[in-house]
Amino acid sequence: MIIVSASINDRQRRQHATSFGAAAREYRRGRPPYPREAVDWLLPTGAATVVDLGAGTGKFTELLVAPGREVIAVEPSAGMREQLADAVPAATVHGGTAERIPLPDASADAVLMAQAWHWVDPELAVPEIARVLRPGGTLGLVWNIRDSREPWVAELDDLLHHHSRQDLDTAPELPAPFAAAERAEFSWRHTLTRDAVLDMIASRSYVIVLPEPERAELLGNVTELLASHPDLADHDDIVLPYVTRCTRATR
């Protein structure tokens, strides 16, 4: 994810998309959850079978579990699936991708993807998701984005962009049969320890693939920012603001 945009080549995209297993524990410890309001907005009323596609370590999956609901998590990385199975035992976990979903036709009421749509090939993923969804089923996409309107977060982003740049399309246009998409945003704040902030940074794909000296330099610079910024220096915990951006569309 040096640049998640049209300019990244296929080799780089594969390298970054498959890097997460090397930092699965950091991902589980450091990545934020998702606000309940966003989950409720994405989920269709009465959804009995919900698929979390590209489920990672289960940060979003665990919010989908409810009495009477079947939750199926699909994740390509074996290391991430191991963390997911431990964290969310109520979910059924499968290996697979958005382009090859290991589920029958018309078997799900909703297919949701958290922090993952930018890794897929839409030309292959859209018809595959449509195949798995029942008529009237929902495709939901969600991203947590750090809110850089807060000064120290803007400085953090500047540090990260010195090594990489992340241009995410968090309001993607969806082709038929998902053309009529709705959008929503939710602002919220996540409290975490300083170590968890470092885990969050270390779990980014563009950090995982850095050469070790460059990775160590970046994490050292983040540690210095957390220790020295006047908005953070006197606080044991860090409050990180997010904007969660959601897209939903009906099949």
CA 163 to chain CA mean position, Å: 20
In a domain, 5, yes or no: no
In a domain, 3, yes or no: no
In a domain, 239, yes or no: yes
The residue range of the domain holding 224 is 10-250
For the chain, percent of residues with pLDDT exceeding 70: 88
Say how far apart CA 35 and CA 227 lie, in whole Å. 28
Provide the token pair at 1: 């994810």
Look at residues 10, 9, 23 and name the one whose alpha carbon lies nearest to residue 209. 23
In a domain, 213, yes or no: yes
- How many distinct structural domains can be found in the chain? 1
Say if residue 225's pLDDT is above 70. Answer: yes
Q: Read off the CATH number of the domain in which 39 is found.
A: 3.40.50.150
Provide the token pair at 89: 């035992």
pLDDT at residue 163, as a whole number: 62
Provide the pLDDT confidence category of residue 13 given band limits of 50, 70 and 90.
very low
Say if residue 205's pLDDT is above 90. Answer: no
In a domain, 88, yes or no: yes
- 3-class SS of residue 213: helix
Provide the pLDDT confidence category of residue 235 given band limits of 50, 70 and 90.
confident
In a domain, 159, yes or no: yes
- Residue 213: asked if its preceding bond is cis (omega within 30°), the reply is no
pTM of the model: 0.86
In a domain, 226, yes or no: yes
- Do the beta carbons of residue 51 and residue 111 sit within 8 Å? yes
Residues 77-122: pLDDT tens digits?
A: 999 899 999 999 999 999 999 999 999 999 999 999 999 998 899 9
In a domain, 2, yes or no: no
- How many Cβ atoms sit within 10 Å of the Cβ of residue 218? 21
Q: How far is CA 222 from CA 162, 216, 226, in A?
A: 12, 10, 6
